Amino acid sequence: MLDDPKAIEKVDRQGMIETLESLPEQCEEALKNASQIRIGYPKPSRIIITGMGGSAIGGDLMRDWLKKDLRVPIEVYRGYELPVYADKKTLVIGVSYSGNTEETLRAFSGAIKKGCMCVGITSGGKLEELCKKNSIPYIKLPGGYLPRFAIAHLFLSMVVVFEKMRLCSDEQHIEREIKDAMQVLEQVRGQCKRQTPAASNISKQIAENVNGKIPIIYTFGPFKGAAKRIKSEFNENAKTPCFWAYIPELNHNEILGWESDLSGKFFVILVRDKKKETKEYVTRLEFTKRVVEKKAGLMELEVVGRTKLAKILSLMYIGAFASVYLAVLKGVDPAPTRLIDELKEELK
Ligand code: PA5
């Protein structure tokens, strides 16, 4: 079924797969769009990225990627009230694609009141109004995307803010990683697009493997944000429960769940980076794999690329394709997010 473009079109009525296939071009556009911003703040003592769902996840990817390059702590905050330690020396990046997400608006307004150094990233809405009213620098994103499909803009706009504020210790290294990642994304697009048959298309294979099961993504190291993102994509695009956990933590609790008779309902995608795995991680990953395989299906998903950013983004990209292919197999339109919208209406 996944090798029949007509069958895909029939379910994916708003063309989400096409949007995914244009991700590399969106990345170029995003860097250009964001480069307009002017930020006059001094160096912060900490960074808080605040947002929800598809708008927040770029923050996790930033943290995973740059944790070792940043001179200051970075955290992603999802909620209404910022931590008390957010102060005048804190850079708060408020991210909301729609610009109207309640929690993000409350947290960002709180940051303005506390005198934090604020930057906005949005396509409009109340967040844009707040930025304009308070003379806060912001990046205006193009409209017309669903928030999770605007990830190129959401993520790379943050990268540009970091670059403009010279927050990383080795800027040339950052530039090189971005260039490399863009090339790898093109390569992954070729491997995962509609026209590439399931026999050689890893995203279609994932979708076929998890169809009828509850997917779980097991990950480690700098791939936590990417795993969380894939989980959310399975939830939002394929409308299926999905979970994620990471090694080593899952070896201290979740692993015991595999003794249960319910285990057969799951299918595990085990993220691997075989050239970089240290001895203890190999032992943990292999042990976990043996435990799972006794009870459920499992496939390894090797990250693609040489640099950290390329690996993170390509993993996320493979997962995004897989989530839309799974939606197609299940016959559900990947675009609508009815329950999210209903709750947002109720909160108004
Ligand atoms: O992907 C989605 O549609 C959601 O997860 C949204 O990103 C989330 O509800 C927050 O909305 P926004 O991104 O507009 O702030």
Q: What separation in Å is there between the alpha carbon of 338 and the centre of ligand 1?
A: 12
CA gap 176, 161 in Å, rounded: 17
CA gap 34, 343 in Å, rounded: 31
Name 233's Cβ contacts closer than 8 Å, sequence gap at least 6.
148, 319, 320, 322, 323
Per DSSP, 70 falls in state B
On whether the CB atoms of residues 74 and 58 are closer than 8 A, the answer is: no
Q: Whose CA is nearest to atom 15 of ligand 1?
A: 96
10 — phi, psi (to 5°)?
A: -60, -40
Name 323's Cβ contacts closer than 8 Å, sequence gap at least 6.
207, 230, 233, 234, 236, 237, 238, 334
Instruction: State the DSSP H helix or E strand holding residue 133, giving kind and residue range, or none if neither.
Output: helix 125-133
For 9, other C-beta atoms within 10 Å of its C-beta total 14
Residue type, 335: A
CA gap 347, 90 in Å, rounded: 29
Judge residue 100's burial from the number of C-beta atoms within 10 Å of its C-beta, 0-12 exposed, 13-18 middle, 19 or more buried: middle
Q: What separation in Å is there between the alpha carbon of 124 and the centre of ligand 1?
A: 13
CA gap 95, 57 in Å, rounded: 10
- CA 19 to chain centroid, in Å, comes to 16
Q: Encode the chain (348 residues) as per-residue pLDDT tens digits.
A: 899 999 999 999 999 999 999 999 999 999 999 999 999 999 999 999 999 999 999 999 999 999 888 989 999 999 999 999 999 999 999 999 999 999 999 999 999 999 999 999 999 999 999 999 999 999 999 999 999 999 999 999 999 999 999 998 888 889 999 999 999 999 999 999 999 999 999 999 999 999 999 999 999 999 999 999 999 999 999 999 999 999 999 999 999 999 999 999 999 999 999 999 999 999 999 999 999 999 999 999 999 999 999 999 999 999 999 999 999 999 999 999 999 999 999 998
On whether the CB atoms of residues 301 and 268 are closer than 8 A, the answer is: no
What DSSP letter does each residue of 291-321 carry, written as one string? HHHTTSEEEEEE--SSSHHHHHHHHHHHHHH
On whether the CB atoms of residues 152 and 32 are closer than 8 A, the answer is: no
Residue type, 162: F
16, 49, 340: residue to mutate for ligand 1 pocket, most atoms within 8 A of CB: 340
Q: What separation in Å is there between the alpha carbon of 52 and the centre of ligand 1?
A: 6
127, 148, 155: residue to mutate for ligand 1 pocket, most atoms within 8 A of CB: 148
